[in-house]
Amino acid sequence: MRLAFLVLFTLGTPLWAQKAGAARRSDNGLSYMVTGQGPRDIVLIHGSNLDHRMWEAEATTLSATARVLRYDLRGHGASTDPTMPYSAWEDLRGLLDEVDMERVALVGLSAGAGIALDFTLTYPDRVEALVLASPTISGYTPTARPAFFDDLVSAIRAKDYEQANEVLLASSVLAVPDASSSLVREMVRGNVRLWTLDPTHQQALSPPALQRLSDLAKPVLILVGENDVADIHAQASLLKREVAGSRLVTIPGGGHLLNLTSPARFAEELRTFFSRLGPPR
């Protein structure tokens, strides 16, 4: 199961100067939003069953010194559903071309981290740096089945998609503090159509990122929550081992939705990482 674009554009107004909350659909059907102004371009990529709203706090903070792009993955949020083969990394490339972002720093969580990896391996010249939170790696085979998996599959097979959402929301994977629980529930329930989409439309990277991690030659920050599942910790450790110069930070008490379970520490790690990068080249 994949746990895994609002457009901001006004004629005559630069993207960075547009008001937060404005949105538009891209040429390839993605809903996205661009906010902020500054020398660095940063892209925030959400996890599966969620949407761009999970990044509200990060977008607000980062927009003070950078242009920030948030978008809804295909089949999520206000983006169009896939009706033919597509790849998430080509979706992102097309979106970057449309908003005139040539070289970006990518921040991805869960499935979003996997997309960030795949994009970087496909278009290395377009990426300045990576922040991979609760990371997934294409080609990685989980070693354990989640405790909620059987109940989830049963609900999907019965076409009881509301129950599938409830199973997912009750899992440790989506556990968040009370302050964020309403948002997470709203995002998951708003993406109920995901259970009905044809997963074969989404193309896989070949060869997968798992076989190419040593090719990454970028500054990489890996963030994982102390309370996340074993397979996420295993992938985080694998990234640290295979990507030269990468930094792995385990956040005490953090869960899978790390920016929502540990917002202050997550923000601190982002600030430190980007300050150490210096001005973009």
Q: Residues near 195 by Cβ (< 8 Å), separated by ≥ 6?
A: 156, 161, 164
The model carries a pTM of 0.92
Q: How far apart are CA 103 and CA 92, in angstroms?
A: 12
Q: How far apart are CA 147 and CA 130, in angstroms?
A: 30
pLDDT at 20: 44
pLDDT at 15: 32
| Coil vs helix vs strand at 4 | coil
CATH superfamily of 15-143+198-277: Alpha/Beta hydrolase fold, catalytic domain (3.40.50.1820)
Virtual torsion, Cα 50, 72, 112, 183, nearest 10 deg: -30
pLDDT at 4: 33
What are the C-alpha distances in Å from 137 to residues 47, 144, 172, 236? 13, 15, 20, 9
pLDDT at 281: 77
| Coil vs helix vs strand at 133 | strand
Asked if 114 contacts 136 with a C-beta cutoff of 8 angstroms, the reply is: yes
Asked if 32 contacts 49 with a C-beta cutoff of 8 angstroms, the reply is: no
pLDDT profile of the chain (281 residues), mean per 10? 28 32 82 96 98 97 97 96 96 97 98 98 98 98 92 97 97 97 98 95 96 97 97 98 98 98 98 93 77
Question: Rounded to the nearest 10 degrees, what angle do helices 178-190 and 161-170 cross at?
Answer: 150
What are the C-alpha distances in Å from 49 to residues 21, 132, 217? 21, 18, 30
